[in-house]
Each structure stands twice: as C-alpha cells, then as structure tokens.
Amino acid sequence: METEIIEPAIKACLAEIHTKLKAAEQIARAAQACAEAGGVAEAVRVSMDIEQLIYEAGRLHDAATLLARMQD
C-alpha cells in the first residue's frame, strides 16, 4: 500500500492508543486513591473500566503493526 495512506493511519492509531492509555491511567489513579482511602471493593469496581480500554489499545496496536508490515 502507499505510504501517503498508511503513515497517517498508523499515526491515528498511535494517537488513539495514547488517548485510551491516558484514560486508563486516570482510572487507575482513581482506583488507587480509593484503595488507599480504605475502599478496596470500590477500587476494584472502579478499576474494571480499565480492561476495555486496554483491550481497545491492544487492537489498535495490532492494526498499526499490520499497517506497518503492509508498508514494507
């Protein structure tokens, strides 16, 4: 595939990965704060939202690496 198509797509994937992981970081910080305040059960409940974000970031990474291989 052509570089002028693939490179912007890879950049978009990487930007979205960054966005999702930043959101996961914020959730992790909130969960940690809950746990440190003694609300361990609440911390676990809050942290459950991290799973979907990490999954989506992983799939975006898969897409970016596939696109990179197509470029070679």
Residue 72 pLDDT more than 90? no
- At residue 28, φ and ψ (nearest 5 deg) are -60, -40
C-alpha atoms less than 13 angstroms from C-alpha of 65 in its C-beta half-sphere: 6
71 pLDDT tier (thresholds 50, 70, 90): confident
What does the angle CA 27 – CA 11 – CA 66 come to, to the nearest 5 degrees?
A: 95
What does the domain layout of the chain look like in residue ranges?
3-71
Amino acid identity, residue 5? I
In this prediction, residues 34-55 reach a mean pLDDT of 96
- Mean pLDDT over 62-71 rounds to 94
Q: How confident is the model at residue 55 (pLDDT cuts 50, 70, 90)?
A: very high
Q: What is the mean pLDDT of the chain?
A: 95
* Strand, helix or coil for residue 39: coil
